[in-house]
């Protein structure tokens, strides 16, 4: 056990625990009265949920510390959620499943509620959860900004970095790293020989971080290359960074913690932050400093001679008055967001996709056939209509994102003054609402066979009985990049990364699950808890991002 983890708790979690214990000890009479109010008199008292969660936020925090909060939410929907058939026979919500997971939080998992919560005109804003991610008052980025008007301005400026030109500009960097990664996978193999078993979660992390280095900061970290490299610990440090702060954001004492942060708690957290997380923070600062220097150096050159990566578009963005959109401190904060958000979706989806296709020979063959029949050479696999016409490739990507979402728990929103109507019910000001990615994707009442990897559900086909109407209904409940003002601004980049990586890799290489040895990594365990037993489901840990391990796979050069 790490010296920075005691009894399974990180230093941040111990601080939250201590604050909670002191508060309960000194305010026991008020706490008792509040518990009674939460159970019987609260405006949300009629919303179903486990008794302990209805009176206290402790269960939600407990499962956040364990890393399986998404599984707990799924369990609650299985117990308390109610569904009904619509006229077409497809099982949809009526009036919609909802669960109360803290005294002031209600979650949903149906399309109507999702639209009511996350649409542009919804009378909600980001919950205090987001403010807890700030290291200090200067650490403000688009992700942590709660004010709707300020967020809209920031988002408008950030969108300038994710235009069609920036998407096309990113392609050479992606292709360079994918081809090099494929080369390394079989570098020591004779023709027809399978590679050593590799943990694909680690492999996808190294690939995606190297791509992100080029896209964001103008240089590759080269962590996929053999040999020693000081950057090789960075993907793991990002996970530890998220695991350190995530329990804090789900604390039942969050309001008190947010009040204490500028009054000394931020300083305390900086003191107890483990060295590897401090190294990650310094790493981000160093990357931004070097990229800013390169931008200033090239600014007077012709546009064609400037390195137009993602960070160039951030540096070059202008506000409504024509001034630079970001200060240096804001660029540091945005960079941290881009590293975490820009790597997690691609990496977890790649790992999940490899998990599922290496356990399903029929669908692997179907995917490989589409790619190899569409493109004569891997060099032909580039951004354009030919790649986007690979409908089964996109279906496999979508199905992997459904089963293994990069955000397994909810994106919380707080109802504003005047309240909000959600799926026909009124929720008062201050209520926290949201939808859980894992619980929504693993919903048998909606998908029928939600625990089955079946990409065909996303492609209309008379032979399979899948209609366009059916696909449209599914897509109304499918939001891998969120929706509305809080959606991912650069969602086209991970889709491009995923499409190019899978297509180029499967065009030149064959992949399999090792027939013997440690080949079960990533799958469910029959003796594990409810919701974690299915050996055909790629398992995740919830730290706001999806922490993963596996699958173990092997590669060899294409033999046919």
Domain limits of the chain?
12-557
If residue 510 lies in a helix (H) or strand (E), which one and from where to where?
strand 509-512
If residue 552 lies in a helix (H) or strand (E), which one and from where to where?
strand 552-557
> 456-489: buried (b, 16+ CB within 10 Å) or exposed (e) per residue?
bbbeeeeeeebeeeebebbeebbbbbbbbbbebb
CB 276 within 8 A of CB 237: yes
Instruction: Give the mean pLDDT of 120-125.
Output: 96
pLDDT, residue 17, reads 57
**Residue 288 reports pLDDT greater than 60:** yes
Cα–Cα distance measured from residue 366 to residue 470, given in angstroms and rounded to the nearest whole number = 22
**Residue 5 reports pLDDT greater than 70:** no
Q: How much of the chain, in percent, has pLDDT values that exceed 70?
A: 92
Query: Which tens digit of pLDDT belongs to each residue from 338-348?
Result: 888 889 999 99
- Average pLDDT of the residues of the chain: 89
Instruction: Let me know if domain 12-557 sits in CATH 1.10.150.80.
Output: no
pLDDT, residue 226, reads 94
**Residue 16 reports pLDDT greater than 70:** no
315 band by pLDDT with thresholds 50, 70 and 90:
confident
Cα–Cα distance measured from residue 102 to residue 73, given in angstroms and rounded to the nearest whole number = 11
| 488 known member of a binding site | yes
CB 309 within 8 A of CB 170: yes
Cα–Cα distance measured from residue 388 to residue 347, given in angstroms and rounded to the nearest whole number = 20
Query: Which tens digit of pLDDT belongs to each residue from 472-511?
Result: 999 999 999 999 998 988 899 999 999 999 999 999 999 9
Query: Which tens digit of pLDDT belongs to each residue from 55-101?
Result: 999 999 999 999 999 999 999 999 998 643 343 344 443 446 899 99
- Give the global pTM: 0.91
Instruction: Give the mean pLDDT of 413-419.
Output: 98
Q: How much of the chain, in percent, has pLDDT values that exceed 90?
A: 64
Instruction: Give the mean pLDDT of 399-406.
Output: 98
């Amino acid at each position: 056990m790490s010296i920075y983890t005691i009894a399974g708790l990180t230093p941040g979690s111990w601080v939250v625990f201590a604050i909670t214990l002191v508060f309960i000890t000194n305010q026991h009479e008020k706490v008792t009265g509040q518990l009674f109010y939460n159970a019987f008199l609260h405006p949300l008292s009629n919303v179903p949920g486990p008794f302990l969660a209805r009176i206290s936020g402790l269960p939600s925090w407990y499962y956040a510390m364990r890393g399986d909060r998404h599984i707990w939410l799924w369990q609650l929907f299985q117990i308390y959620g109610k569904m009904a058939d619509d006229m077409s026979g497809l099982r949809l919500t009526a009036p919609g499943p909802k669960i109360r997971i803290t005294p002031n939080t209600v979650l949903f998992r149906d399309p109507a509620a999702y639209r009511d919560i996350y649409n542009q005109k919804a009378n909600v804003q980001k919950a205090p959860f987001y403010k807890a991610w700030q290291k200090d008052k200067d650490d403000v980025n688009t992700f942590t900004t709660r004010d709707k008007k300020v967020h809209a301005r920031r988002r408008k400026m950030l969108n300038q970095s994710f235009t069609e030109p920036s998407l096309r500009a990113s392609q050479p960097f992606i292709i360079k790293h994918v081809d090099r990664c494929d080369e390394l996978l079989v570098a020591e193999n004779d023709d027809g020989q399978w590679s050593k078993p590799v943990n694909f979660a680690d492999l996808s992390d190294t690939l995606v971080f190297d791509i992100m280095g080029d896209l964001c900061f103008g240089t590759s970290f080269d962590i996929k290359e053999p040999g020693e490299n000081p950057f090789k610990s960075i993907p793991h440090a990002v996970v530890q960074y998220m695991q350190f702060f995530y329990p804090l954001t789900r604390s039942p004492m969050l309001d008190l913690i947010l009040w204490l942060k500028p009054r000394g708690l931020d300083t305390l957290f900086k003191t107890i932050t483990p060295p590897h997380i401090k190294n990650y923070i310094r790493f981000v600062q160093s990357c931004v400093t070097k990229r800013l220097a390169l931008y200033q150096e090239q600014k007077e050159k012709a546009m064609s001679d400037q390195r137009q990566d993602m960070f160039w578009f951030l540096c070059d963005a202008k506000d409504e008055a024509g001034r630079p959109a970001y200060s240096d401190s804001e660029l540091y904060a945005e960079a941290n967001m881009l590293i975490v958000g820009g790597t997690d979706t691609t990496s977890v989806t790649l790992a999940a996709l490899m998990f599922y296709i290496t356990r399903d020979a029929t669908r692997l063959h179907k995917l490989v056939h589409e790619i190899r029949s569409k493109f004569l050479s891997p060099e032909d696999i580039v951004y354009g209509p030919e790649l986007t016409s690979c409908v089964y490739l996109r279906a496999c990507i979508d199905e992997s994102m459904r089963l293994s979402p990069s955000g397994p728990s909810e994106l919380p929103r707080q109802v504003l003054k005047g309240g909000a109507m959600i799926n026909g019910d009124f929720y008062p000001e201050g209520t926290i609402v949201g939808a859980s990615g894992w619980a929504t994707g693993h919903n048998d009442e909606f998908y029928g066979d939600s625990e089955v990897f079946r990409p065909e559900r996303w492609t209309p086909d008379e032979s399979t009985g899948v209609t366009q109407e059916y696909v449209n209904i599914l897509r109304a409940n499918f939001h891998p990049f969120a929706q509305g003002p809080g959606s991912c601004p650069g969602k086209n980049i991970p889709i491009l990364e995923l499409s190019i990586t899978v297509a180029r890799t499967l065009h030149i290489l064959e992949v399999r699950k090792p027939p013997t040895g440690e080949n079960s990594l990533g799958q469910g365990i029959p003796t594990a808890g409810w919701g974690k037993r299915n050996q055909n489901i790629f398992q995740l840990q919830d730290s706001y991002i999806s922490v993963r391990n596996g699958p173990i796979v092997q590669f060899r050069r294409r033999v046919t």
